[in-house]
Amino acid sequence: MLLGTVLVLFLLGGAGTASAHAALKGSDPVDGSVLDAAPRDITLRFTESVSLLEDSIRVVDPENRAVDTGKPGRAGGRADTASVTLPTGLDDGTYTIAWRVVSADSHPISGALLFSIGEPSATAAVLPADLTEDPLTSSLYDITRYFAYGALALLIGVTFFLAVVLGGPSEVLRRLLMAGWLALLLASAVLLLLRGPYERGTGVGAALDLSVLRDTMVSRPGLALLARLALLAVAALVLVRVRGQGQQGQQGEQGQEWGKGTLVGGALLSVGLAGTWAAAEHASAGIQVPVAMTSSVLHLLAMAVWLGGLTALLTVLYRAPNTLSASVVNRFSRLAFVSVIVLVVTGVYQSWRGLGSWSAFTSTAYGEVLVAKLVAVLLLLVAAAFSRRWTGRLGEASAEAGAVDEAAGSAEAVGSAEGAASTTVAEPVKAASVQAGDSVQAADRAEVTARATVAVAARGPERVGATDSEASDGAADVPSGGPVDTGQGGRECPAAEDSSAADPLRQGLRRSVLAEFTVAVVVLVITTVLTGTLPGRAAAEIAKESAGAAAGGVTASSTTIPFDVGTPNGHGKVQIDLGPGRVGKNSVQAVVFGPDNGIATVPELRLTFTLRAQKIGPIDAKLTDRGGYWVTDDLQLPLPGKWTMKLTVRTTEIDQVTVEKSVRVS
């Protein structure tokens, strides 16, 4: 149920391309720059450490010929840089730099830059196909990531529910536990195979390339996946042992299948599995890495215990509601409360670490997704509050039923004991005198009948809808001779009556737990999306770097303008770089990105500038298409002020849209 719900929410909501956590914050030469002489090397600087591929940086000359650069390396030994050395004797013209690296949190990122030697020129350069992600590979990888998160929650949460909450065997939950283990095993194996094609932006067929798989296995994400598979193999041995102990325990005392050693081993395996996520995602990069990884592990474990436990509770409520006692529900309620506290504490820390400032809530994509998660968590807490209320009512009802059962049981015990004693005394008397024995037996029958009537009356309130006349009838039906068995008297099936009395409460609890479970899955999906979004702290660092470049007179502004022509796949965004952003001659570079955040080609792109305060314009930028990049180096802006950029994007022969955005010129 959990994995199916995750898939449905993914298909309905859409995952999109991961924004990743590293981003290019600078380059040398600067994007769009014109140099008097050829540079000796090319250096890219990122917001966090990155892993390099064999061809992470490729340079193409104006004639679309690859420039021999050799293998990429590091600038000054820094892990957040990538660098290649250029050969001597490069001709004048415009060169294209295509780059692709893997960020420290395992997400691949890519892009392209331009620089010119001497004077800008037309270029026939064609961007490499793997500069953007392969849609099928990316989609399969993202879907499998969702399944892996859900399977982890199922495996750890159901395990904790069986061991800590239920404390005994359950065939229904054991099957659910095995389903979680198998799903996580398959998802991890698929992720390991798809990791290479996902990093390189190639098709699914590359998953069968042994050289690609070999490279994956020595990378940090690959090692984390291999460790996860090894831990799952150990977990399989533990589950087999628990199952064997459970089968033996069914013949003896219930609840002995989870020994102390098994509990400790299961806890260590859970921490290890959660650690394979923390070691390969954003917690392993950035500031305060040890604290961040610890927080990430605790956050993931708390999520798994709560969400997986909800799945187990919901399964029992629907499949075997009569076996679920109020004490079990109360234990899970306390465990869920502890999980919520851990989630809140670790979530606050991770939010601070990712955002960096309050303004990032509204100014970055990370902040917007985080706000959506916070809203979902609030809804989840509301649903959890309803579940706790129903749990309290169920506990009160069970306590009242237990008190009635105890009183009735005491009355029945007294009646049976005294009835037996009377019969024992009657036998010797009968041997001495038949007439006296008949009198004693008559007295015994009257006394036992009276006690049975008292017992039934004491038990009467436990029966929903029972009347006084029914209680009296129960007393009248007592046999007229011999000892009376009051163990089931007046109540044919105690379990059925308990279930009948608690049915409204169990139904209410079932509905609230289902709502809590549904919202929890939504939180899980949003969390998975959040792990693939550029944090606000990194976005602020990029903005600061851009501002520094603008102060140096290189690039004054980088503006992103979204567009949508109203057709399928007819939406995206255009990034416009204006430099130096001052009065006089300026250069413009525009790049169109499609729905998948990859660079897209369009048949026409027009850009004009208007200074409405002075009634100047529109001034046509006269952009020229240079193989996916639209550029001009001769835009004259006569006055400072707030200029309006009007952008027209045509995606087909008949589909186009015009959008506007302002830019300040100094």
Looking at the structure, tell me whether residues 584 and 657 fall in a common domain.
yes
For residue 315, name the pLDDT band (cuts at 50, 70, 90).
confident
Q: Is residue 574 part of a domain?
A: yes
CB 308 within 8 A of CB 290: no
Looking at the structure, tell me whether residues 484 and 564 fall in a common domain.
no
User: What does the pLDDT read at residue 300?
Assistant: 92
More confident residue, 543 or 643: 643
Looking at the structure, tell me whether residues 123 and 22 fall in a common domain.
yes
pLDDT tens-digit series, residues 431-474: 444 344 444 444 444 444 444 333 333 333 333 333 343 433 44
User: What does the pLDDT read at residue 187?
Assistant: 96
Q: Is residue 381 part of a domain?
A: no
Task: State whether residue 542 is helix, strand or coil.
Answer: helix
User: What does the pLDDT read at residue 498?
Assistant: 44
Q: Is residue 436 part of a domain?
A: yes
Q: Is residue 80 part of a domain?
A: yes
Looking at the structure, tell me whether residues 575 and 656 fall in a common domain.
yes
Distance CA 535, CA 353 (A): 9
Looking at the structure, tell me whether residues 645 and 564 fall in a common domain.
yes
More confident residue, 119 or 20: 119
DSSP label of 161: I
For residue 604, name the pLDDT band (cuts at 50, 70, 90).
confident
More confident residue, 600 or 265: 265
CB 110 within 8 A of CB 201: yes
Number of domains the chain is built from: 3
Distance CA 372, CA 369 (A): 5
Looking at the structure, tell me whether residues 568 and 655 fall in a common domain.
yes
User: What does the pLDDT read at residue 21?
Assistant: 59
User: What does the pLDDT read at residue 599?
Assistant: 72
More confident residue, 474 or 186: 186
Q: Among 96, 131, 166, where does a domain finish?
A: 131
Which amino acid is present at 556?
A
Distance CA 119, CA 196 (A): 39
Which of these ranges, 34-43, 114-123, 521-530, has the smallest mean pLDDT? Answer: 521-530
Distance CA 552, CA 579 (A): 11
Looking at the structure, tell me whether residues 566 and 649 fall in a common domain.
yes
Looking at the structure, tell me whether residues 125 and 26 fall in a common domain.
yes
Q: Is residue 334 part of a domain?
A: no
Q: Among 131, 150, 165, where does a domain finish?
A: 131
What is the domain extent for residue 607?
A: 556-665
Distance CA 153, CA 146 (A): 11
| Crossing angle of helices 289-319 and 326-355, rounded to 10° | 150
Q: Residue range 574-578: average pLDDT?
A: 87
pLDDT tens-digit series, residues 483-520: 333 333 333 333 433 444 446 666 666 676 777 777 77
Q: Is residue 519 part of a domain?
A: no
- Look at the block and give the residue holding tokens 């215990």: 305
Q: Is residue 510 part of a domain?
A: no
| DSSP state letters, 286-327 | SSSHHHHHHHHHHHHHHHHHHHHHHHHHHHHHHH-GGG--HH
- The rounded mean pLDDT for the chain is 73
CB 207 within 8 A of CB 194: yes
Distance CA 483, CA 448 (A): 8
pLDDT tens-digit series, residues 543-565: 665 555 444 444 457 788 888 87
**What is the rounded (10 degree) CA torsion for 150, 156, 159, 163?**
-140
640: CATH = 2.60.40.3340
Which of these ranges, 69-83, 147-161, 544-558, has the smallest mean pLDDT? Answer: 544-558
Backbone angles phi, psi at 106, to 5 degrees: 85, 0
User: What does the pLDDT read at residue 234?
Assistant: 94
User: Which of 413, 402, 405, 497 minimizes the C-alpha distance to 452?
Assistant: 413
Looking at the structure, tell me whether residues 48 and 117 fall in a common domain.
yes
For residue 316, name the pLDDT band (cuts at 50, 70, 90).
confident
- 32: alpha, beta or left, given left = phi > 0 and alpha = psi -120 to 50? left
Q: Is residue 647 part of a domain?
A: yes
Distance CA 389, CA 394 (A): 9
| DSSP state letters, 253-291 | -TT-SS-HHHHHHHHHHHHHHHHHHHTTSGGGSSSSHHH
User: What does the pLDDT read at residue 231?
Assistant: 96
38: CATH = 2.60.40.1220
Looking at the structure, tell me whether residues 642 and 562 fall in a common domain.
yes
Beta-carbon contacts of 407 under 8 Å, excluding residues fewer than 6 positions away, are 458, 459
CB 562 within 8 A of CB 572: yes
User: Which of 129, 145, 124 minimizes the C-alpha distance to 65?
Assistant: 124
CB 132 within 8 A of CB 596: yes
pLDDT tens-digit series, residues 212-257: 999 899 888 999 999 999 999 999 988 887 665 555 544 444 444 5
Looking at the structure, tell me whether residues 23 and 119 fall in a common domain.
yes
